[in-house]
């Protein structure tokens, strides 16, 4: 067993412990941010060093070290770094618990990294719980009534989804006798169609897996926690949930459904059709319910549900495509990278503005272009990317996802997706209109820390680069998706 391949995870766990211990002995809490960022940087360095090596399995074949896992590890580490930097302005609200706050972000990132690498159902469940429990605590970190209520709702609904997921795993194990995704695939390919259909436990188990994982990606109809949790959680954690948890959920779905249930072909076509229907409903419900929202965090919460619908178009493509065609998988990876940058940039601007005006109401953003021109410009660019307009990353992300779907007979789904993109433009551009053409309630400027400015700069730069020259990141996504070749 080569534990050297487990160094990124060990580093992150070690630095999380170090942050907690350091919090006990230092007075200047800025050191906690520095140590957390160093931990993420060291872990990322070891991860990059492994890129290009052949796929290997460690810890009893429960964890894979392949390009797919490494891509997501780098994505999660980058997301965590931006979230920690954006939290600097929020630190005054959690002065006594900053060590725990940063340590929990590192531990949840560790859980997400493990989720992307796990190839065993039991290991997937453990990794998912590590990430989820940390997030349950982080959501309630403000300790006020709204934050506590959000944390409790997230915990209770998360526990139910966890039970559904575990029950689905138990059913799959009961039919196949295996927990390794590769072994499950082998067992299913040795079974006849009539044998599988005569034993509905497998199909029910797959439905339960979709339900359990659907909660993590905020997919319809497992989305009921999103608006309240997004509104009540600390804004940096709302940003973290909207991109980190969603990316981790899609990483697990991609590995499990393609590696375990990718064959026989009729089974793949059927779960692909399920994802297509969920995508259509999710896009429509998410966008329509976002239209009347007056709170920008709730609006982005419903927007997140719609974005999960767009991403599930890629899952549907993966199910419909013949083995070896990886456009669906690679387009999802690219979409997640672009979505992470746009959403983190938007929430970073919201943190700076809300800290000053003490409000998350869209109407209170009126005339923000005069009070904070760079913040308004950055938020506008990120919202344009979420719509899917050029030259932002969202345009290329949707182009790749939609192109793959059209090539595999899902034109009807793309028509729905395009209509929904037009609908989403209304509520995204409403915020832009209020900021650019509204009258400010005050002439007082809106300040932001150097850390927050850095997050905004990196996010906006990434959004523009992925929109104008997407080839490099798409090539990385294609390299990562090569793991799925049989």
- 41-69 tens-digit pLDDT: 999 999 999 887 777 878 777 888 889 99
Q: Are 393 and 466 in contact (CB under 8 A)?
A: yes
In the numeric block, the tokens 């199909």 are attached to: 203
How many other CB atoms sit within 10 Å of the CB of residue 425?
Answer: 18
132 in helix, strand or coil? helix
- Model confidence band, residue 222 (pLDDT cutoffs 50, 70, 90): confident
What span, in angstroms and rounded, lies between the C-alpha atoms of 72 and 251? 7
pLDDT at position 324 = 62
Q: Which residue has the higher pLDDT, 97 or 475?
A: 475
Mean pLDDT in the chain?
Answer: 89
pLDDT at position 485 = 59
Total structural domains within the chain: 1
DSSP letter assigned to residue 307: H
What span, in angstroms and rounded, lies between the C-alpha atoms of 267 and 391? 38
pLDDT at position 92 = 67
Cβ contacts of 244 within 8 Å, gap of 6 or more: 76, 79, 80, 83, 108, 109, 112, 340
Kindly report the pTM of this predicted structure. 0.94
Residue 283 resides in a domain: yes
What span, in angstroms and rounded, lies between the C-alpha atoms of 146 and 58? 43
What span, in angstroms and rounded, lies between the C-alpha atoms of 273 and 210? 12
Residue 441 resides in a domain: yes
Q: Which residue has the higher pLDDT, 264 or 12?
A: 12
What span, in angstroms and rounded, lies between the C-alpha atoms of 318 and 416? 18
Residue 297 resides in a domain: yes
- Model confidence band, residue 411 (pLDDT cutoffs 50, 70, 90): very high
290 in helix, strand or coil? helix
- Model confidence band, residue 261 (pLDDT cutoffs 50, 70, 90): confident
Tokens of 171: 């059913």
What span, in angstroms and rounded, lies between the C-alpha atoms of 14 and 37? 13
pLDDT at position 323 = 63
Backbone angles phi, psi at 445, to 5 degrees: -70, 155
Backbone angles phi, psi at 58, to 5 degrees: -130, 170
pLDDT at position 334 = 94
Residue 317 resides in a domain: yes
Give CA separation, 56 vs 10, 124, 182, 256, 395, in Å: 17, 17, 14, 17, 35
pLDDT at position 386 = 94
Q: Are 141 and 237 in contact (CB under 8 A)?
A: yes
DSSP class per residue in 384-437: HHHHT-TTSHHHHHHHHHHHHHHHTT-HHHHHHHHHHHHHHHHHHHHHHHHHHH
pLDDT at position 34 = 92
pLDDT in tens, 439-473: 888 888 888 888 899 999 999 999 999 999 998 99
pLDDT at position 90 = 76
Tokens of 33: 């941010």
Q: What range does the domain containing 292 cover?
A: 262-486
Residue 162 resides in a domain: no
Residue 108 resides in a domain: no
Residue 403 resides in a domain: yes
Kindly tell me if the per-residue pLDDT of 483 is higher than 80.
no
Radius of gyration for the alpha carbons in the chain, expressed in angstroms and rounded: 21
Task: Read off the pLDDT of each residue in 85-114 and give the average, rounded to a whole number.
Answer: 87
Q: Which helix (H) or strand (E) holds 70?
A: helix 67-86
Tokens of 285: 């419900």
Kindly tell me if the per-residue pLDDT of 282 is higher than 90.
yes
Helices (H), 233-295: 235-240, 246-259, 265-290
Backbone angles phi, psi at 64, to 5 degrees: -105, 135
Q: Are 306 and 386 in contact (CB under 8 A)?
A: no
- Model confidence band, residue 385 (pLDDT cutoffs 50, 70, 90): very high
470 closest CA partner among 343, 332, 338, 381 = 338
Can you say whether the dihedral through the CA atoms of 127, 130, 134, 136 is positive or negative? positive
Kindly tell me if the per-residue pLDDT of 147 is higher than 70.
yes
pLDDT at position 344 = 94
What span, in angstroms and rounded, lies between the C-alpha atoms of 476 and 51? 10
- Model confidence band, residue 254 (pLDDT cutoffs 50, 70, 90): very high
Q: Which helix (H) or strand (E) holds 166?
A: helix 145-176
Residue 429 resides in a domain: yes
pLDDT at position 381 = 95
> What's the distance, CA 380 to chain centroid?
21
How many other CB atoms sit within 10 Å of the CB of residue 323?
Answer: 13
Instruction: Work out the burial of residue 393: count CB atoms within 10 Å of its CB; fewer than 13 is exposed, 13-18 middle, 19 or more buried.
Output: buried
């Amino acid at each position: 067993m080569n534990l050297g391949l487990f160094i990124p995870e060990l580093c992150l766990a070690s630095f999380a412990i170090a942050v907690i211990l350091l919090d006990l002995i230092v007075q200047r809490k800025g050191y906690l941010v520095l140590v957390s960022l160093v931990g993420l940087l060291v872990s990322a360095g070891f991860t990059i060093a492994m890129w290009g090596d052949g796929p290997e399995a460690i810890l009893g074949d429960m964890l894979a070290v392949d390009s797919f896992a490494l891509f997501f590890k780098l994505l999660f580490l980058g997301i965590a770094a931006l979230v920690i930097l954006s939290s600097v302005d929020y630190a005054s609200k959690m002065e006594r618990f900053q060590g725990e706050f940063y340590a929990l972000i590192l531990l949840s990132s560790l859980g997400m990294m493990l989720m992307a690498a796990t190839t065993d159902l039991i290991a997937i469940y453990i990794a998912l719980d590590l990430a989820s429990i940390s997030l349950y605590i982080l959501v309630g970190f403000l300790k006020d009534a709204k934050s506590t209520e959000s944390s409790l709702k997230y915990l209770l609904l998360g526990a139910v989804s966890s039970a559904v997921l575990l029950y689905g795993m138990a059913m799959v194990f009961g039919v196949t006798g295996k927990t390794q995704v590769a072994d499950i695939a082998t067992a299913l390919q040795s079974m006849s169609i009539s044998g599988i259909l005569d034993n509905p436990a497998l199909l029910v188990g797959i439905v339960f897996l979709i339900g359990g994982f659907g909660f993590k990606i905020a997919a319809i109809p497992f989305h009921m926690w999103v608006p309240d949790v997004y509104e009540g959680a600390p804004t940096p954690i709302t940003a973290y949930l909207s991109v980190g948890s969603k990316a981790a959920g899609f990483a697990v779905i991609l590995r499990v459904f393609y590696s375990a249930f990718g064959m026989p072909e009729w089974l793949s076509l059927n779960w692909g059709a399920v994802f297509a229907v969920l995508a259509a409903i999710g896009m429509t419900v998410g966008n329509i319910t976002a239209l009347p929202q007056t709170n920008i965090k709730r609006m982005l919460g419903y927007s997140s549900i719609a974005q999960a619908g767009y991403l599930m178009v890629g899952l549907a493509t993966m199910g419909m495509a013949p083995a070896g065609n990886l456009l669906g998988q690679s387009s999802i990876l690219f979409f997640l990278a672009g979505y992470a940058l746009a959403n983190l940039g938007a929430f970073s601007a919201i943190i700076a503005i809300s800290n000053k005006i003490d409000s998350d109401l869209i109407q209170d953003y009126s005339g923000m272009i005069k009070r904070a021109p760079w913040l308004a410009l950055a938020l506008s660019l990120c919202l344009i990317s979420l719509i899917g307009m050029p030259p932002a990353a969202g345009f290329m992300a949707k182009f790749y996802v939609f192109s793959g779907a059209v090539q595999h007979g899902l034109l009807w789904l793309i028509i729905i997706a395009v209509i929904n993109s037009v609908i989403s433009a209304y509520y995204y551009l409403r915020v832009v209109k209020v900021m650019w053409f509204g009258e400010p309630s005050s002439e007082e400027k809106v300040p932001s820390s150097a850390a927050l400015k850095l997050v905004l700069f990196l996010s906006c730069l990434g959004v523009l680069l992925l929109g104008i020259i997407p080839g490099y990141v798409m090539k990385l996504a294609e390299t990562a998706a090569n793991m799925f070749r049989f």
